[in-house]
Amino acid sequence: MAVKIRLQRHGKKNFAFFHIVVADSRSPRDGRYIEQLGTYNPNTNPATIVLNSERALAWIKVGAEPTLTARRILSYEGVLLRHHLDGGVAKGALTQAEADKKWNDWKAQRDAKIEAKKTALKNSAVEARKAAKEAEVKVNEARAEALAKKAAELAAKQQEAEAEASADEAAAEAPAAEEAQAEA
């Protein structure tokens, strides 16, 4: 029986998440499985992976073949590195203490990289909000200037209209005053 470590699709359309399972290679993708090792959610940034590394390592040691995507996930979680280091210990190339040190160094480096990505994403979101707020302030200032300019133009037109109306009244009163003087 060929055993594979693969992904089993769950979730809604266009919003999938996956269970990482050990299954017979002849069973359907979402069908029967032997053991569930964890979950993988690609919808979050960075992707959320929950994996029972010890069980995954045990299955790798007894010959379970991971699919390409499952291999990438196992590599990302360090299961394949652990398998490689255990092979080195079994051959006598390094001691268990050296293997553990290499594993811990790699794990610390990976965790630091993940934290750096999370903080970078958080900082970029904060910067985007600041930029949006600054752009909004600029737009509001431009609108306020435009309204002030429009109000000034309306006031100027109103003054011109009043001046023109008073000039028309004065012009209308002047001939009437001349007629009144001519009659007197």
pLDDT in tens, 12-23: 999 999 999 999
pLDDT in tens, 29-49: 888 899 999 999 999 888 899
What is the structure's pLDDT at 143? 92
Whole-angstrom Cα distance, residue 152 to residue 13? Answer: 57
Distance between first and last Cα of the chain: 131
**Residue 177, pLDDT above cutoff 90:** no
Q: How confident is the model at residue 184 (pLDDT cuts 50, 70, 90)?
A: low
Phi, psi (5° rounding) for residue 176?
A: -70, -40
Q: How far is CA 125 from CA 5, 128, 145, in A?
A: 36, 5, 30
Question: Is the full-model pTM beyond 0.75?
Answer: no
60's CB contacts (< 8 A; 6+ apart) are 5, 66, 74, 79, 80, 83
